[in-house]
Structure 1
């Protein structure tokens, strides 16, 4: 612990950083400060001063507020509470919705310039259908359990459980089902979900998964209630359309060795096959065998669609190593959709994919910095970013999704 930790400073907040915090400076040193907005002057308490290059701080009070500040959408996360008692998970809830999206746009542009080494023209972060204040969209929430059995979200940037009376980012059905004042002694967490069919449900601890059905447009997807599905009630339909539109139809060959990597239960493979018809050949690859089993069922109507279980890194590497001359031709004509985890695809996967030399890649990203790094890696291997759109799938948080199209230049 340094000598500044716990001290309060009055600081001017200058710009936004990735990760839901703003940037301020004190005597030339960078301070990452939470619960502030660029343009404000705030009193902030130093929480970490061990790093030479930067400190971290939490806003205690606002001296000069931004015109974009509003009462926090979640009382449990507001400045009325001391920082360690503020619920985490709605770190942009004190900012008007339009300005949240503007800040996210700045983060995307900055990431692309610094990490992606590419300048993008104005790319707005597009809103989804929903409330004017960005509440009521979450269909899945994990509540943590403390040593006394009490449930709640973690406090911001800690593993301390905060008891709350409501979950404003969640749908009405999820709020109604959430057991906020019940005790769950001996459990680690309680998941609450409200799928698009079948009503809300709880998953307590490690109970055996059951099957649920999610509806996207006129299509049904079956999956485990414990499995991955997009959190915003309109996210799956938004990404379906986004991926369909991101594919350059002139470069798409339905008979090629098209791939859907990190494919989950087959949402994006279905999006591709829906756009390009019943003859579409597409292989969905996913490391979770339970998800792959569901993907096989969800894709059964397309004769050329199939689902395979494998770690994407190894699967793609083995594909490149074993490809025959005919395979290589089908791969050169391929469209590859990839939706990697937050850490991105990374150097090894990018190198393997570029070695397959597909006609185009559609990259769905939940982290702008990871996407930007990978865009730079693809550029080194002859792939050019030709299209980028961004979507606000997580209002009142710093998260958003981007969909990039890369083509062989």
Structure 2
């Protein structure tokens, strides 16, 4: 089949990754820029897989009632697929329906990968964050890639082609004002625009030397490198702080236990735990990035029982398990472990190690529902039940969804 083959398809449901699902002659086709319930003309872009094909919407024949004018004209279906800016793949869907589709993905992931069929899964909703009614203006960090001519822009959807744009509607007003969309950066690979809570927005060109910025959550300040990780939505850090605090069962929390904050970054969630349970809270934040760990040590300095360790989580926790004596193991068994792994999830090795320590409860912050569901299934094999789950729309107009899960030892 030639790659230019076009088909009329009836779109039936949503899949993980923001792609819709259709079928043709019994074959599954994953279609971008479509909405379940629509009939579209789609161009086949990949037919090498025997089990499924991939396609891009060229024209909407029968639109969904939930279709809207795209919030970013540069990503609109009116453009040729290869010239659509990436990063707002749900921008053509009415905002409340975006959240419904994300809810469906979370529930489907739990059912398929965690083998979970319970009221906790059925009752989950995707909660909105404060912000503009149309879901724009929330992104405090934007990376623009640079093409061979030096022109900056986002990549096209599902490619590394740089697209020239005149606006960045998901970005905050300060980031949009600072974005050098008309400038040239010959010889550079990328340009970042970063807005911290203090000091306005700044440009970071290529791999320039980082400087220190300050973020604010409630009345607490966090110092970090401007090139380091911080939540992108203006209200995400506060939302996750509160969600983690509420996800911990107080009856199972022991301030003197060997509590852990894994993949801890600059200490945001360790601070959330310590703020919730008081100055005597003992908690160790573990992070592989030594620069972030250095900032975490300073950000957590007011809690005498808090510290930060540098190490890859899978190695660090394996070493902890190997060297723990009877007293250490008792403190670990009484512990609460918070983890916020990368998009790929914690994985089998880390889940096995945590399960072997037998902490009282686990609070898992996830940015990928399939990885979360897979790990929940692995934890279930080690005696942990999902007892609470919340989902948050930290990334409006994209397919991404954040979840906070509580797992309790049986």
Q: Does 1:265 align with 2:266?
A: yes
Give the CA deviation at 1:312: 0.2
Q: Give the equivalent residue in structure 2 for 1:309.
A: 310
Aligned with 1:63 (options 56, 61, 64): 61
User: Structure 2, unaligned stretches of length 5 or more?
Assistant: none
1:23 alignment counterpart: 21
Q: Does 1:162 align with 2:167?
A: no
Match of 1:216 in 2: 217
Partner of 2:283: 282
CA deviation vs aligned residue, 1:281-300 (integer Å, no higher than 9, x gap): 00000000000000000000
Query: 1:283 & 1:367 partners in 2: Cα distance?
Result: 24
- State the match for 2:205 in structure 1: 204
CA-CA distance at 1:370 after TM superposition: 0.2
Question: How big is the shift at 1:348?
Answer: 0.3
* TM-score of the two chains, using structure 1 as the length reference: 0.99
Runs of 4+ in 1 over 3 A off after TM superposition: none
Paired position in structure 1 for 2:149: 148
Give distance in 2, aligned partners of 1:187 and 1:310.
Answer: 31
CA-atom RMSD, angstroms?
0.5
Corresponding residue for 2:368? 367
Question: What does residue 44 of structure 1 align with?
Answer: 42
State the Cα distance separating 1:212 from its structure 2 match. Answer: 0.1
| Other-structure match for 1:100 | 98
1:189 positional shift: 0.2
Residue 122 of structure 2 aligns to a residue in which SS? coil
Q: Output one character per residue of 1:202-253: Cα deviation in whole Å (capped at 9) or x when no partner.
A: 0000110000000000000000000000000000000000000000000000
Please give the secondary structure, in 2, of the residue aligned with 1:112. Answer: helix
The correspondence of residues 181-260 of structure 1 with structure 2, limited to 5 A, is 181-260=182-261
Q: CA deviation at 1:275?
A: 0.2
Task: Give 3-state SS (helix, strand or coil) of 1:342's partner.
Answer: coil
User: Normalising by the residue count of structure 2, what TM-score does the alignment of the two structures yield?
Assistant: 0.99
- Structure 1 stretches of 5 or more lacking a match? none
Aligned to 1:113: 111
Partner SS state of residue 193, structure 1:
strand
Rounded to whole Å, the distance in 1 between the matches of 2:150 and 2:378 is: 47
Offset at residue 121 of structure 1 (A) = 2.1
Give a deviation string over 1:127-185, Cα, whole Å, max 9, x none: 00011111000000000000000000000000000000000000000000000010000
Structure-to-structure mapping, 1:51-90, within 5 angstroms: 51-90=49-88
CA separation in 2, counterparts of 1:229 and 1:387? 25
In 1: Cα distance, 2:131 partner to 2:124 partner: 21
Residue in 1 that maps onto 2:386: 385
Give the Cα separation in 2 of the matches to 1:342 and 1:298.
Answer: 25
Report the alpha carbon displacement of residue 4 of structure 1 after superposing the two structures with TM: 4.0
Q: CA deviation at 1:55?
A: 0.4
